[in-house]
Structure 1
Amino acid sequence: MTTCWVPGAADTPYGVQTLPYGAFRRSEGEQRLGVRIGDFVLDLRGAEDADLILAGGALSESTLNAFLTLGRAQWTTVRRRIVELLTEAEHRAAIEPLLIPLAEVDLVMPFTVGDYVDFYSSEQHASNVGQIFRPGQPLLTPNWRHLPIGYHGRAGTVVVSGTPIVRPSGQRRSSDGPVFGPSGRLDIEAEVGFVVGVPTVLGDRVPTDRFADHVFGVTLVNDWSARDIQAWEYQPLGPFLGKSFATSVSPWVVPLEALDHAWVPAPAQDPPVLDYLREDDRRGLDLSIVVEWNGTRVSEPPFAGMYWTPAQQLAHLTVNGASLRTGDLYASGTVSGARRDQVGSFLELTWGGTEPIKLDDGSERTFLEDGDTVTITATAPGPAGSTVGLGDVTGTVHPAR
């Protein structure tokens, strides 16, 4: 693997094997685009203004959207150029002034979200939820193994990591009928998000083998969930207010090209899927996710076992002719493995709140309390034994208003 000259960047999850894109602001300054390298951010506007990178002005914008529209060939060209700038000694004098310590910047929302769709693609998670929410009934609904189930969320409530999460209020079931008030069963969902770059025209479909033509990269997602509001409202039309109050994303978008070494065979599907969901090369991403609750590591969900792949999700999302827009975000759904310490929600971790867990400070939890902080991180295998970092997504719960 090529050696990077940036101090401290080599042998870290944020060397030249990763190079995630984000947006930042210094003090009260303007929002600018950057690429993370080690513990620095490379100012892309400065690099483009100095003609060190050529992207038609797209990197001088305040969000990634203009760059996302350029497509795979241009994404590849710019990435290769950034690698050159950070590894070839002849560029060091020009680039060093454009490297800003991460400690000196505020990371902000890196792209403007067009639409937001959340899927339900982990068989283990769906089975657990079925057992908790629908005891005595089949774990999976009849359609689950035939299509990637999803719902359309609210793009306006997708927020960057670190944004306070205000406890939502809504209707909940009680023995005396519906009541209104703050959610008492506030939860997380550890997920992986996919950011769309190249749009489509209304009526077009994106087959599974065109996934990489449209998806720019990956970001971590926490789709916060109010389980008591959700349980009362979700039949027959699915999630609504129990999900739409906040969805947190990492400030970093990792390009698909950084994940070339992370693709692994996806689980076999039975029964066979319909033609538009078939894949000649069926692959998932080997991502290792960690969930921390107030600093205590409580779960390590494995993404490689997801039943429905990102390519299948995109194919299903567009099979009816629904158009893609630059900045569209679609998320995998909760990532859960077979063991209790591999689940991606606290609903599963505490089995519907019946089995409290103990945190390192000695306190016990079933669902989130005001003041609690959740951080989700993830890594992937990179070239030559390196590690690709996907950043983190963090949120702290604030009292209901």
Structure 2
Amino acid sequence: MTAGFGIANLPYGIFSTDVTGPRTGVAVGDRVLDLAAVTGDPIHATGSLNAFMAQGPAAWAQLRRHLTSLLTGRAHRGVVERHLLPADAVTMHLPVEVGDYVDFYSSRHHAENLGKMFRPGSPPLTPNWTHLPIGYHGRAGTVRLSGTPVVRPKGQRKPPDAGPSLGPSLRLDIEAEVGFVVGVPTALGESVPVSAFEEHVFGVCLINDWSARDLQAWEYVPLGPFLGKSFLTSMSPWIVPLAALEAARVKPPARDEPLLPYLDDTRHPWGLDLTLEVRLNGELISSPPFAEMYWTPAQQLAHLTVNGAALRTGDLFASGTVSGPARDQRGSFIELSWGGASPLELKDGGTRSFLEDGDQVTITATAPAMDGTRLSFGEVSGRIEPAT
């Protein structure tokens, strides 16, 4: 059995074969279980997880119990084996129809690193950072499946000693992130307390929110990221259900400031002990620890909806870059190279400050599982192609 895709995990994705259109599958070892075939439920033949996710936690739990029974009971072995397909024989698709996309900025280490680079001599964190989860609305239409080519984006760039010009980004970067997928929607005007996180969020995936730092630096004042972020956001094909992550739940780091009541997660902590790994052309360059994140996904969702903003099935919100205190725990090249001032040294003798054409970046993650093993989130990857 492929490590990380055991019975304690059972992540969901959308796949197709030469003879079937897109449908729901569950990763089991090095196989994919065809849910439409094994359950007979047409909801798993829709080509998206959205319809199933909208059914809510009771349906999610019931199916998980059923799958566990099918996969562990000898009496079902014959039926199950007929519908287990080799993972290398299927084509994966974007698992959800993404509604809205929100990207947060929840790693204190990442925020402080960028603050030190961009605002030397001033406090690295903005005054609001320890009081609320900062985020921005991204472009849902460019959330694409892992493996989608990363075409170097073009936009306005402005060096310190010249005027702006239009051209390809020279400071193309990654952001190693964790994503959360909404299953159950809300009505306009309804807010989601931290205690209701599990009632609305279906599962967790990996995100690489590719960033053009030179475009971003010129455009982001006063309204924030735009072209520097909107050209592509990569999403992993497998969604790990929240039910698989109970053993990974931890308390978040201590907070500097008292939290307003709607963000108080003392009784409902949703820190997660996930270990990410970032590889450049196969070489491990960073291992960001998600347990270090200052703001949890439950707090992010509570803040996102406290003004009455409605959730839709398929909404995606991401953690922001995951970084730890050590250099080899930083989740972006702008941190790994300190803005280009200290390039990352590679094993082949080369260096990187930012991404070059032909570079392949792969992000993986694991977490403790309920059975004492470690579960996998699969991977999110992308290869840089020249600007067109």
Bin the TM-score by the shorter chain. Answer: over 0.9
Would you say 1:263 and 2:249 are equivalent positions? yes
Which residue of structure 2 lines up, in the alignment, with residue 292 of structure 1?
Answer: 279
Deviation of 1:48 (Å): 2.5
Deviation of 1:236 (Å): 1.1
1:246-292, Cα deviation, whole Å (9 max, x unpaired): 00010000000000100011111121111111112323000010000
1:22-46, Cα deviation, whole Å (9 max, x unpaired): 0112247411110000000001111
Q: Is the 8 A contact 1:167 1:398 kept in 2?
A: yes
Q: Using the alignment, how far apart are the partners of 1:255 and 1:90 within structure 2?
A: 26
Superposed, 1:373-388 pairs within 5 Å as 373-388=360-375
Q: Using the alignment, how far apart are the partners of 1:233 and 1:324 within structure 2?
A: 28
Q: Using the alignment, how far apart are the partners of 2:325 and 2:222 within structure 1?
A: 28
* Runs of 4 or more consecutive aligned structure 1 residues displaced over 3 Å after TM superposition: none
Q: Secondary structure at the match of 1:137?
A: coil
Which residue of structure 2 lines up, in the alignment, with residue 15 of structure 1?
Answer: 6
Which has the larger displacement, 193-202 or 58-67? 58-67
Q: 1:203 aligns with which of 189, 192, 195?
A: 189
Q: Is the 8 A contact 2:249 2:269 kept in 1?
A: no
- Identity over aligned pairs, percent: 60
Q: Is the 8 A contact 1:263 1:285 kept in 2?
A: yes
Q: Using the alignment, how far apart are the partners of 2:19 and 2:278 within structure 1?
A: 32
Q: Give me the TM-score of the superposition, normalised by structure 2.
A: 0.98
Structure 2 unmatched runs, 5+: none
Q: Is the 8 A contact 2:13 2:239 kept in 1?
A: yes
Would you say 1:34 and 2:25 are equivalent positions? yes
Superposed, 1:83-98 pairs within 5 Å as 83-98=68-83
Q: Is the 8 A contact 1:293 1:359 kept in 2?
A: no
Would you say 1:117 and 2:102 are equivalent positions? yes
Q: Using the alignment, how far apart are the partners of 1:326 and 1:143 within structure 2?
A: 30
Deviation of 1:210 (Å): 0.3
The one-letter code of the counterpart of 1:232 is W
Aligned positions, number: 386
The one-letter code of the counterpart of 2:5 is Y
Deviation of 1:134 (Å): 1.9
Which residue of structure 2 lines up, in the alignment, with residue 226 of structure 1?
Answer: 212
Would you say 1:166 and 2:151 are equivalent positions? yes
Q: Give me the TM-score of the superposition, normalised by structure 1.
A: 0.95
Q: Using the alignment, how far apart are the partners of 1:364 and 1:45 within structure 2?
A: 48
Q: Using the alignment, how far apart are the partners of 2:371 and 2:146 within structure 1?
A: 30
Which residue of structure 2 lines up, in the alignment, with residue 5 of structure 1?
Answer: none
Q: Using the alignment, how far apart are the partners of 1:70 and 1:148 within structure 2?
A: 28
Q: 2:63 aligns with which of 74, 78, 81?
A: 78
Would you say 1:102 and 2:87 are equivalent positions? yes
Q: Secondary structure at the match of 2:14?
A: strand
Q: Using the alignment, how far apart are the partners of 1:14 and 1:206 within structure 2?
A: 31
Deviation of 1:243 (Å): 0.4
Superposed, 1:113-192 pairs within 5 Å as 113-174=98-159, 175-192=161-178
Which residue of structure 1 lines up, in the alignment, with residue 15 of structure 2?
Answer: 24
Q: Secondary structure at the match of 2:227?
A: coil
Deviation of 1:91 (Å): 0.4
The one-letter code of the counterpart of 2:16 is R
Q: Using the alignment, how far apart are the partners of 1:133 and 1:228 within structure 2?
A: 13
Deviation of 1:359 (Å): 2.2
Deviation of 1:151 (Å): 0.2
Deviation of 1:348 (Å): 0.1
Q: Using the alignment, how far apart are the partners of 1:128 and 1:33 within structure 2?
A: 41
The one-letter code of the counterpart of 1:296 is E
Q: 2:313 aligns with which of 307, 326, 329?
A: 326
Would you say 1:48 and 2:33 are equivalent positions? no
